[in-house]
Amino acid sequence: PSAVWPGGSIQSSFPVLSAGASSLPRDHELGAMFAGLGDALAKRKQYVDNAGSVTEAAGTGTGRAELSSAISSGGSKFVLLQGGLEKSPTGFTGLVNQGATCYLNSLIQSLFMVPEFRQALYAWEFNEADHGEEDRCLSRQLQRLFAQLQLSKRAAVTTGSLTKSFGWSGSEAFVQQDVQECMSVIFAHLEMQSLWDHIPQMHEGKSFDYLKCHKCGQSRGHPEKFRDLQLGVRGMTSLQQSFEAYTSGEEMEGVECPHCGTRETHTKGIAFRKLPEIMTLQLRRFDMNYETMQRVKVNDAVDIPAVIDMAPFISTDDGGEGEGAPAEGASGPQEYELISICMHIGSALSGHYFAYIKESGTGRWLNFNDANVTELEQSQLAGILSTLPPEEGGAGGSAGAAASDSGIGGAAAVAAAAAAAAAKKPADASAKVGERGGPAPVKPATSNAYMLVYRKLHGGNVHAVDEALVPAAVKAHIDEENEKFDKLKAEWEEERKWLNMTVYHTGPAKPLKVHEDRTVAELTQMAFGLFSEIMEGEGVPIERVRLRWFDALKNACLAPLDNGSSGSNPTTMDTKLKDLPEEMVRRPLKFEVKEEGGEFEDYLANGLPLSIMVYDADKQEFGEPLPLSVDPDATVGQLREAVATRAKLDLERTSIVWYPGAEAFGGVVPLEDPAVTLKSLKIGDVSSTLHVEDKLPSEPSKLSEYFEGLSNMITINFNDPRTAADAGAQPRTPTTVDAGVAAMVKGMHADELALNGEKKYVQVDQRKPLGELKDQIAAEIGMAPSEFKLRRGAGGQEYKDLGMAVALHGLEEGHTIHIKLGTPMEVGEWQFNLKYCPELDGDVSALGPFVLNEAMSIPDVKAVLHAQFGESHGVPSPERMRLRTAQSTGVMTRVKLGSVMTDDSIIAEVFGAKIADGKMIAIQITSGPEVFTSEHMLLRARHWSPVSKVLGDVEEIGVLRTGNFSDLGAALAPSVNEKRLAKPLEGAGGAVEPLGEATVEDVYAVKPFAYLLKDLANLPTLKWEPQPKAETKLSNWGRLKDGDLIVYKDNREPEDITPEMADKLAAEQLQTTIAHEEAGFQIFSPQQQKEREEARKIENEQLKKEQEEKVKMIHAAAMERANEGTEAPATITSELPPPAPSSS
């Protein structure tokens, strides 16, 4: 088998047999491997993954180490190289996305590219006494990050230190937030933590929110400060329109005017008094659809100018009483250049942010997309900005150059040039949008523009920030980081010169790490050394081997490493590995061995690689695989000639069979028609292995018969109970709780091995009866079949029908059967889990597993249980015993009771099709004999008294399954009367008479969720109203079934519903229509961070304790299940009555 699938004794999804695992001949070993081909590619992949543990993926040899893989591996020293080795050709540094922090990255890059902001941030001085711990100071970490963006040699840096200063614990980085909200919160914390006055100076504007009377013309209002403007885009085509809509105001009728003394029509609006130096505009792209109550995104495209004149929007006089002072700064130029566009692609619920940002001084536009920074092409820029140079060439043309020389970043010059061109050539009114001379077109790309940043143009604009302004301590840290980066980069580049190869031959694949400067000859010698013992045992010297690239998925040898002059990349034994094709270096290698005195295969470049297996019918085995490459367009006839020559067979006696492995791929395909092409058969697509038989066409094919039987062979895994530890020994447990959860889990694995034994496997024809499989296992473990059970897993069902085929039991390739010592059960016998419930709704005690026959009547079961457990556990006599189905609640001392097992039924009728090993039966005590049939339903009930605020204990109520709601009221009325209030009620006119006998109409009942009963304050808010109609069937009311809990009350007792309870009721009614509140962007103060860390520490300690307790319980439960059946449980099989007829 190792000659075909080099894997030796390694267990995988392919059932390769190890020595001593089975007495089957060698052809079954090979056949089992080919049986694994039945699942085609999936199982081949798993085989390669398992057989070559050094191989990272199917069919690969891993080749050169990848930086991303090295960084993702735990504790990699190359983590500083995250983001890439080479910086962007633009010279700018990107930002690594922590998970969903693209919005933060876009904002940081936009702020960094504002020279005034960066200059002010560098000028700020950190002082631990004033600003607290350095790691928790947002301003300091932002300062460091900006310095990294300017000075780092890395392609991209991380925002981890910045978000750590936010007080984030990790999960926040995976929640996408709004970029505008993020900016507002960061600005607020920069001021709060650092007393920084740059933001109000550069980013703050002033407006006047006014009301102007139409009659007297007087205005009144109040000034406002703003740091960003939110402009509408729905129905707008340009930014100009958005500003007009923002400042146009709206008419309001019937507003009282203090000057006129009457109610008059007013205009309510906003007037700009002062615009900030850096103007941030948020385009309102996210809206609410009130019909669906869902957020939606507005994708309307708007025209975005490269330069905008804001003078028309600044008010110098609003006509108010003393409020009409000239606007601040309104006398000078009010031109603003666009410097940043934050883009959002996606929906209102998710998406991706990136930013187009203009470099001050050069005028070039850059695309900042997380770790990637690229320069925008002029064609891309033309698709975004509406203000373009008058001639062809885009913003980077002559006007842009002139602007660069003037030192104003190009925007004003572009606008001036455009204005001059417009003056020379007036606009053509008939021209269409987009034509020269016509109105500016709306750019489709701007439908994703979300936040715009404009900078006011004046002579004092800053265009560059000298690195000398970076604080010395920060610069020293970055210099140290750059030095470490250079060293790691050199180490990585050297690491990349080492190739991780995987070499196949007989036995498991072996890893080989070799330097790229080695030659093919040296690689061959090193690989030969890995298999020196095997080669010596086979009598093969190094002169008789050569290395070939290997496709492990298809079991096909590809080109030899020394291919001479064949192929597009000729190589020799002196070729260095670094000169080999990169795509081939990723493949594994395999040795080709030639016969003594023979020649290697004459490899056909660009041919179809095949593997030829010759079957010896007398020996019932296959020979060593023979590599063969043929023309992909060859016919079956041409293939037969090539195979006969390669296998040294007579052409007339060369019979070829192709076995893809599964019927879905064609099953066994005899290659008989000489005119059929290999391409039409898709040979090589799934499997490249051909099987050859030495026979005449008229003779029957033993090879086809072999594969037909082989396709039904499967491998079944099992445990050997002989190697298990003594079942009575105490299981090993950690000595202390401090050993931790990991130690407990490790101990559980050790206990499992000790209790269950070593793993083994056998092969069986899935068409054979299960008894044959059990006989094989019995022979393997040296026990009689009557001494052990076959179970579906350690705690699963027992396989009982030994006469049914293996396949019909649901057993498939690779499945595991659990072997348990003890007497096996017969067909019709089931092992039940017995629970004794001496008190209603109290703790239960486990009586252990107990075997019963499905044909037993319930009275017989009661008699047997009393005889077995009456004396030892106090189980009552059959006359006072009630049996019920039950389910686990997750708490070992509690069960959920189900239907009553009535005396007129048998076990098979009670459980029906759901009968199985492990089903639970609960034993209850009754006060005496009871008449209970399958037509009755047993409910749990609790009485609620609104006046005394008492919720009674659990009681049981029996009703007919076919009954209606009035029947339930009649059953509950005696209990209501028994518990009715004896004292008079307080009425509006004083005390009234005590309550009389309750009628059915006075009884109210609800079926609540159990958790609501934990707090009595919830009882008045239950859905008492409206009650179902009297004729409503109980099966339709709450889908009542056995064991359900209801709460009932006397409706004449008034409920005391407080205003808080009423609000709760109203909230619950609106619960389905209220959308979940979204968590906004948050930054925590240093004090909040410390409090959160302390809270997390306490929470983690508590969680650790809970986990340890849970693992202890799981461990104990696992040990209990593993020990179940050590001694065969009592089995009742003697003198069984015949199945009783249905009592219905």
Cα dist. 459→117, 333, 357, 497, 550 in Å? 17, 11, 21, 54, 68
pLDDT of residue 877: 92
- Other C-beta atoms lying within 10 Å of the C-beta of residue 201: 13
Nearest 5 degrees, angle CA 704-CA 604-CA 40?
Answer: 40
Q: To 10 degrees, what angle do helices 179-194 and 102-112 make?
A: 60
pLDDT of residue 771: 94
**Cα 770 to chain centroid, rounded:** 40
In the three-class reduction of DSSP (H, G, I as helix; E, B as strand; rest coil), residue 1092 is classed as helix
**Cα 445 to chain centroid, rounded:** 32
pLDDT of residue 23: 30
Least confident of 252-261, 400-409, 852-861, 1045-1054: 400-409
pLDDT tens-digit map of 37-93: 333 334 334 433 433 333 333 334 555 555 555 544 444 555 556 566 778 899 999
Calpha distance 114→110 (Å, rounded): 7
Calpha distance 447→547 (Å, rounded): 58
Full 3-state SS string of 873-906? HCCCCHHHEEEEEEEECCCCCCEEEEEECCCCCE
Calpha distance 882→880 (Å, rounded): 7
- Whether 543 has a pLDDT exceeding 90, the answer reads yes
- Whether 923 has a pLDDT exceeding 90, the answer reads yes
The one-letter amino acid code at 204 reads E
Least confident of 5-14, 309-318, 355-364, 446-455: 5-14
pLDDT tens-digit map of 605-640: 788 889 888 988 887 788 888 889 899 899 999 999
Calpha distance 339→475 (Å, rounded): 27
The one-letter amino acid code at 384 reads I
Nearest 5 degrees, angle CA 760-CA 765-CA 770?
Answer: 75
Is there a contact between 551 and 609 (Cβ–Cβ < 8 Å)? yes
Calpha distance 691→671 (Å, rounded): 10
pLDDT of residue 731: 40
Question: What average pLDDT score do residues 470-491 get?
Answer: 90
Question: What average pLDDT score do residues 197-220 get?
Answer: 87
Question: What average pLDDT score do residues 1134-1143 get?
Answer: 34
In the three-class reduction of DSSP (H, G, I as helix; E, B as strand; rest coil), residue 684 is classed as coil
Type and span of the H or E element at 494 = helix 472-495
- Whether 36 has a pLDDT exceeding 60, the answer reads no
Query: Which among 394-403, 739-748, 1029-1038 has the top mean pLDDT?
Result: 1029-1038
Least confident of 592-601, 722-731, 869-878, 904-913: 722-731
Confidence tier at 494 by pLDDT (50, 70, 90) = confident
pLDDT of residue 149: 94
Confidence tier at 735 by pLDDT (50, 70, 90) = very low
% of the chain at pLDDT higher than 70: 76
- The 8-class DSSP code of residue 1131 comes to B
- Other C-beta atoms lying within 10 Å of the C-beta of residue 964: 19
Residue identified by tokens 């007393």 is: 195
Is there a contact between 233 and 335 (Cβ–Cβ < 8 Å)? no
pLDDT of residue 567: 56
Is there a contact between 989 and 953 (Cβ–Cβ < 8 Å)? no
Q: What number of H helices and E strands is found in the chain?
A: 28, 44
Least confident of 378-382, 718-722, 948-952: 378-382
Calpha distance 218→256 (Å, rounded): 12
CA-based nearest residue to 566, from 601, 602, 605: 605
- Whether 541 has a pLDDT exceeding 90, the answer reads yes
- Whether 528 has a pLDDT exceeding 90, the answer reads yes
**Residue 271 corresponds to which tokens in the numbers above?**
């007037």
pLDDT of residue 688: 84
Better-scored residue on pLDDT, 1018 or 673? 673
pLDDT of residue 883: 94
pLDDT of residue 932: 80
Calpha distance 128→199 (Å, rounded): 22
In the three-class reduction of DSSP (H, G, I as helix; E, B as strand; rest coil), residue 1132 is classed as coil
- The 8-class DSSP code of residue 372 comes to E
Q: How high is the mean pLDDT of the chain?
A: 77
**Residue 732 corresponds to which tokens in the numbers above?**
């090993």
Is there a contact between 133 and 1051 (Cβ–Cβ < 8 Å)? no
| Burial letters 33-55, b for 16+ CB under 10 A, else e | bbbbbbbbeebbbbbbbbbbebb
Cα dist. 544→481, 524, 596, 622, 1053 in Å? 53, 11, 7, 21, 101
Cα dist. 1055→530, 607, 986, 990, 1024 in Å? 86, 88, 13, 18, 10
Q: To 10 degrees, what angle do helices 138-151 and 472-495 make?
A: 50
Pairing state between β 829-837 and 920-925? parallel
The one-letter amino acid code at 282 reads Q
pLDDT of residue 328: 56
Residue 789 sits at φ, ψ, to 5 deg, of -115, 155
Is there a contact between 677 and 684 (Cβ–Cβ < 8 Å)? no
Cα dist. 133→28, 138, 162, 1089, 1090 in Å? 71, 10, 13, 12, 11
- Whether 779 has a pLDDT exceeding 90, the answer reads yes
Is there a contact between 463 and 407 (Cβ–Cβ < 8 Å)? yes
pLDDT of residue 83: 61
pLDDT of residue 122: 92
CA-based nearest residue to 122, from 150, 98, 159: 150
Calpha distance 755→728 (Å, rounded): 10
pLDDT tens-digit map of 141-194: 999 999 999 999 888 998 989 999 988 877 888 888 889 889 988 888 888 766
- Whether 570 has a pLDDT exceeding 50, the answer reads yes
pLDDT tens-digit map of 637-692: 999 999 999 888 999 999 998 877 554 445 678 888 999 998 888 887 777 888 99
The one-letter amino acid code at 200 reads P
pLDDT of residue 605: 79
Is there a contact between 1016 and 949 (Cβ–Cβ < 8 Å)? yes
pLDDT tens-digit map of 1081-1117: 888 888 888 888 888 888 888 888 887 777 777 666 6
Confidence tier at 428 by pLDDT (50, 70, 90) = very low
Confidence tier at 291 by pLDDT (50, 70, 90) = confident
Better-scored residue on pLDDT, 506 or 374? 374
pLDDT of residue 1127: 41
Residue 5 sits at φ, ψ, to 5 deg, of -120, 95
- Whether 747 has a pLDDT exceeding 60, the answer reads no
- Whether 789 has a pLDDT exceeding 70, the answer reads yes
In the three-class reduction of DSSP (H, G, I as helix; E, B as strand; rest coil), residue 398 is classed as helix
DSSP lists the bridge partners of residue 857 as 906
Is there a contact between 821 and 1123 (Cβ–Cβ < 8 Å)? no
Is there a contact between 128 and 456 (Cβ–Cβ < 8 Å)? no
The CB-based long-range contact list for 248-253 (8 Å cut-off, 24+ gap) reads: 249/212, 252/211
pLDDT tens-digit map of 233-288: 898 888 888 998 888 888 899 899 998 989 999 999 888 988 999 999 999 998 88
- The 8-class DSSP code of residue 963 comes to -
pLDDT of residue 424: 37
DSSP lists the bridge partners of residue 1088 as none
Cα dist. 356→151, 177, 342, 380 in Å? 21, 19, 6, 11
Calpha distance 364→358 (Å, rounded): 6
Question: What average pLDDT score do residues 456-484 get?
Answer: 91
Pairing state between β 1003-1006 and 990-991? unpaired
Calpha distance 1034→967 (Å, rounded): 9
| Burial letters 1004-1023, b for 16+ CB under 10 A, else e | bbbebeeeebeeeeebbbbe
Confidence tier at 410 by pLDDT (50, 70, 90) = very low
Least confident of 182-186, 731-735, 1016-1020: 731-735
Least confident of 110-124, 131-145, 691-705, 1126-1140: 1126-1140
pLDDT of residue 75: 46
**Alpha helices of 113-178 — where are they, by DSSP H?**
115-123, 128-131, 138-151, 160-165
Calpha distance 944→672 (Å, rounded): 85
Residue identified by tokens 């407080």 is: 1058
Residue identified by tokens 């030095």 is: 483
